[in-house]
Amino acid sequence: MILMMDKGLESAGGVDGLVDIPGIRETPAGVNRRIVTLEDGVLLGFGPRTPLVIDILVDRIHAG
C-alpha cells in the first residue's frame, strides 16, 4: 500500500502515472495499484483531527 497526498498523486499523473515510475511499478502496491490518498492539509496537519484522520486511513486501507 502506498499512502500519498492528493496533490502528489495528481503531480505524478494519477495512479497510471505513479505505477509507471520505475521502482514503484515493481512493488506489490504498484503491481496491485493499491494507493491510498488524503487531502494534503489533512495528512500534514497534526492536531485535534488526528484521531479522525487515523480512522479515515484505517477505513481506506481496509477497503482496498
In the CATH scheme, what is the code of domain 2-63?
A: 3.40.50.1980
Neighbours of 25 (CB within 10 A): 13
Q: What percent of the chain has pLDDT over 70?
A: 98
Residues 17-42 have pLDDT tens digits of: 999 999 999 999 999 999 999 888 88
In whole angstroms, what is the distance from residue 45 CA to residue 26 CA?
Answer: 31
Neighbours of 34 (CB within 10 A): 15
Predicted TM-score (pTM) of this structure: 0.76
